Structure 1
Amino acid sequence: MFRRARELGPPIMVPLAWTFVTAAHLEVVTEHTLFIAHVVMAVLLVGFAATGYADMREGVLRTWWLLIAVGSVVTLCGVVGLWLEPTNPALTAVALFGWMLLPAVGFVDTGRRVTKGGWIYAVGTAGCLLGAALYAVSPTWGTRTAAVGGLVLVGLGQTAGIFDAAIRY
């Protein structure tokens, strides 16, 4: 059962996470709810890394295991950043930009290893990088629309890549 959950968890959790982050930026969910979500994700990521290590020691799966391990730390930065009063924007930025960019590393590695259909990982990488860039410049444009657009690009790119990876591996 745990193996099946590890296989099906990422294609469910990735779009759910980005939908949640976007909802938080639209102030549909509170900062406290976002804190709880970070705690839950940190527990899930650490659990995933611990239980998946034996199956993820070689090839592209090793790359993804390393990204999950680093992502656990990135998520914990978000937990601490949201726990502090007032919220620490540097730590929450580490969590947000970390998860925007970490999967791009995995998509590049996966894309160079596959023989067919590697374009989907280029799409995933582009979504991560363009979305992060759009989000980063959004304050200079003075509009929340650009920030939300960046989050949507990241979410769509990562969802496309993780769905293919889950099917392929």
Structure 2
Amino acid sequence: MFRRLRKNGPVLLVPLAWTFVTVAHLGLVARETVVIAHVVMTTIFVVFTAASWSEMRTGVLYAWQVVLLVGTGVTLVGLAALAVAPAYTEPVAVMLSAWMLAPAAAYVYTARNVDADTAPAVYQFAAILSVAGWIVYFCGPLVGLGTTAAVVGLTLVNVGQTAGIANAGYQY
């Protein structure tokens, strides 16, 4: 059962996490809820990474082990920033960037290192949407698009990473 949870959990948690981030950007959840969500997410990352450590030491899964390690670290930094800062801070921007771009890099690596029958184009699509989402999210405010850019950027990341993890779950 635990193997099935490790296989299917990310397929549900990735879109849930990005949807939550989007909802938080719209101001629909309290700051305390965001802090609690980060505690829960960090716990899940640590448990998942520890439980999958030996399985993720080789092949394309190694790239994802690195993503989890980097992601857990930046999520802890983001959690600390959210717990003490009243508003959006640079550590939170770094955390969002890491969760947008580290998986994008891992998707590129995965696309280059999987067999053709495991749909590498899906991983390329996931990488492209993750980077496009990052660009829209962080450049949108420069042209006066603020919240609209944030929602569009986060949605691009959500769609891309959900497609990639859903394919990975299916192939696993």
Q: Do Structure 1 and Structure 2 share a fold, with TM-score over 0.5?
A: yes
TM bracket (short chain): over 0.9
The amino acid of 1:158's aligned partner reads: Q
The amino acid of 1:138's aligned partner reads: G
Identity of aligned residues (%): 46
Query: What is the total number of aligned residue pairs between the two structures?
Result: 169
The amino acid of 1:160's aligned partner reads: A
* Counterpart mapping for 1:74-153 below 5 A: 74-87=74-87, 89-116=89-116, 117-143=119-145, 144-153=147-156
CA distance in 2 between counterparts of 1:109 and 1:84 reads: 36
How far off is 1:86 after superposition? 3.2
1:160 aligned residue: 163
Please list the CA deviations of residues 67-118 of structure 1 after superposition, one character each: whole Å capped at 9, or x if unmatched: 1111110111111010013346011112111101111111011100123221
How far off is 1:147 after superposition? 1.4
- Confirm or deny: 8 A CA contact 2:15 2:158 kept in the other structure: yes
CA distance in 2 between counterparts of 1:149 and 1:88 reads: 18
* Counterpart mapping for 1:59-78 below 5 A: 59-78=59-78
How far off is 1:55 after superposition? 1.3
The amino acid of 1:31's aligned partner reads: R
**TM-score normalized with structure 2 length:** 0.94
**TM-score normalized with structure 1 length:** 0.95
CA distance in 2 between counterparts of 1:56 and 1:100 reads: 21
Taking a change above 3 Å as real, the CA distance of residues 29 and 88 of structure 1, as seen in their structure-2 partners, is: closer
CA distance in 2 between counterparts of 1:85 and 1:112 reads: 40
How far off is 1:168 after superposition? 1.1
Measured on the aligned residues, the alpha-carbon RMSD in Å equals 1.2
CA distance in 2 between counterparts of 1:61 and 1:132 reads: 23
The amino acid of 2:84's aligned partner reads: L
Unaligned runs of 5+ in 2: none
Please list the CA deviations of residues 40-65 of structure 1 after superposition, one character each: whole Å capped at 9, or x if unmatched: 00000011111110211110111111
